[in-house]
A and B are shown apart, each in its own frame.
Chain A
Amino acid sequence: LIRRGRRRTHSSPMDLLAIALALLAFAALLALIEGFDRV
């Protein structure tokens, strides 16, 4: 089922990496709010 879904949507494991990278970037920015609050 996963293979069929992947073929249909052209998705790849790299999509998970992309989403993880985006979440990481925004998490870092959220953490920065607290950092700026302590400046």
Chain B
Amino acid sequence: MTARGWIQLTAFLGLIVAITPLLGGYMARVFGGERVLLQRALGPAERALYRLLRVDPRQEHDWKGYARATLAFSLVSWLVLYAILRLQGSLPFNPAGFGAAPWDVTFNTASSFVTNTNWQYYAGETTLSNFSQMAGLAVQNFASAAVGIAVVVAVIRGFAARSASTLGNFWVDLTRCILYVLLPIAFVAALVLVSQGVVQSLAAAHDGIVVGPVASQEAIKELGTNGGGFFNVNSAMPFENPSGFTNLVEMLLIICIPAALTATFGRMVGNRRQGWAIFAGMFALFAVAVAIVYAAESHGSPAQHLAGIGGGNFEGKETRFGIASSSLFAAITTVTSCGAVNAAMESLTGIGGSIPMANMMTGEVVFGGVGSGLASMLLFVLLAVFIAGLMVGRTPEYLGKKIGAREVKLTMIGALAVPLLVLFTTAVAIATRAGKVSLFAHGPQGFSETLYAYTSQANNNGSAFAGYTGFVQPNAPGNDGAFGITFADLLGSVAMLAGRFLPILAVLAVAGALAGRRTAPAGPGTMRTDTPTFVVLLIGTILLVALLTFVPALLLGPVVQGLTDRMF
């Protein structure tokens, strides 16, 4: 550990605090239907899209209508993406002449990108054409991110409404999100990345090195917390992330929207302190995670020390980023459900590697994915309010609305669906012959690979511990003779689809129920939810759920490995 490293980490944390109210305020204006700076330029495109889609922007949906529109859009996205990927051999912009990847791998990839997971069993540069990357994956990077943000905006409206029956119009939220938030930021970010050396080309290779439309995909990959890299090694590849500066830009892109949405929440519910309270809970958990990963990686592993290698753990890290930036990136990418990586996650120390896994096991609520993170965090807020209500013997209420039995039941379904999904899929994968085919390592490392794979997929993160696979390419590059491991591909797809949409449906149902509730003024017995006490309670609730669910599994994998001097 060095002073420079700590200064770097602290400065980054400061940047997040600075960006949050600015971007959060802007998004509140966008989703409040107010005029924004880009309205004059993009307004005609917005209206043309409504006419094309036959959408009446004044017509609002109740929670069921909003949920149906979300699912319908995602299903169509899935079908289109699957078709593009499977037909890529007959489609243009395929300079390397790649045929399609096998159906099961494609099933996994389509489920992955539609759910904002971006788990990748394939390596982009040896599997996909430029058309698949641009028209398939990059488009889904925008679309799936916009779906997440649209959902949380609807949820916020439900929390903020004073006796209403609707949550907004899904198509309007989706369109405004893409036009006024994602496209402008991604466009500017792509230009910045190109200026720093990130490649942007339609050629197959340059001097034998694969190139492609990387910068345009890189920008939205980070901004939308998607994380699926153009190259297999993701942001560790110099063509995706060439310098310390681009690394900083990419880290900021990943975290800016999930953090800023807390400020959007505060503004839309008419009490900015509520937004800051949620931000504080997320920020505290994030800062601790960063500090632990940095300390663990700087200290190195017992196995490394036994081999006579002193200093920090540099295995799997890019020397141009170093330990501090790699640790920070590892923490950011796992708290936000992004999944992009600039270092090999499997090469982290036992304790260092347990933190990214633990970040995902909190249910991706520590900032979390764009939209989905705050939406799931609001479930934990309700859970904390409910627990506090039980402790003091009062009816729980949040933002002046009484929380009834129905909301608590739906909250429990939403909060526990993903952890149960992780444990179930991991157990099936580790206990069956078909599941073990995907393993690379054995012992605790093999268990960690499996646990990480299904934790990542069910939480829609997408980062991988490496090793665990669902795709074999014997004649790389290209897909001739390649085959998928159907069991892993389909089980992972189930985890991703259920992990994405179960919490979304539950939180929309909660928002729909709350929207119809009258708001009562705060009385002397009302528990305040914008105080440090509540923030501590919220953090405790998140940790309690995660610990009770996952400690046994963590003990079997990364903790065992962190305590041993054996190499796995």
A residues lining the B interface (CB < 8 Å) = 8-12, 14-15, 17-19, 21-23, 25-26, 29-30, 32-34, 36-37, 39
Contact = CB atoms under 8 A, between A and B. Distances in A.
Interface stretch (B3-11, B101-109, B370-378, B451-459): B101-109
| Closest 8 pairs between A and B when the two form their complex, measured CB to CB | A14-B103, A36-B509, A26-B75, A10-B100, A18-B107, A10-B99, A29-B501, A33-B67
Contacts of A12: 103
B15 interface: no
Identify which of B75, B103, B502 gathers the most chain A CB atoms within 10 Å of its CB: B103
27 contacts: A9-B89, A9-B100, A10-B89, A10-B99, A10-B479, A11-B86, A15-B103, A17-B103, A18-B103, A18-B107, A22-B82, A22-B107, A22-B111, A23-B75, A25-B494, A25-B497, A26-B71, A26-B75, A26-B78, A29-B505, A32-B502, A33-B71, A36-B505, A36-B506, A39-B410, A39-B413, A39-B509
A18 to B, nearest CB: 5
Given A10-B100, A36-B505, A37-B64, A18 B71 contact: no
Contact of A22 (B64, B78, B406, B506): B78
A27 to B, nearest CB: 9
B79 interface: yes
Interface of B, helix, strand, loop or mixed by DSSP: helix
Interface in B482-502: 490, 494, 497, 501-502
Nearest to B510: A36
Q: Which of under 10, 10 to 19, 20 to 34, or 35 or more describes the interface residues of B?
A: 20 to 34
B505 A18 contact: no
Interface in B57-102: 64, 67-68, 71, 74-75, 78-79, 82, 86-87, 89-90, 99-100
Contacts of B406: 39
Contacts of B89: 8-10
B158 to A, nearest CB: 14
A9 to B, nearest CB: 5
A10 B479 CA distance: 10
Given A10-B86, A10-B100, A33-B71, 7 more contacts: A12-B103, A14-B104, A19-B79, A21-B490, A36-B410, A36-B413, A37-B509
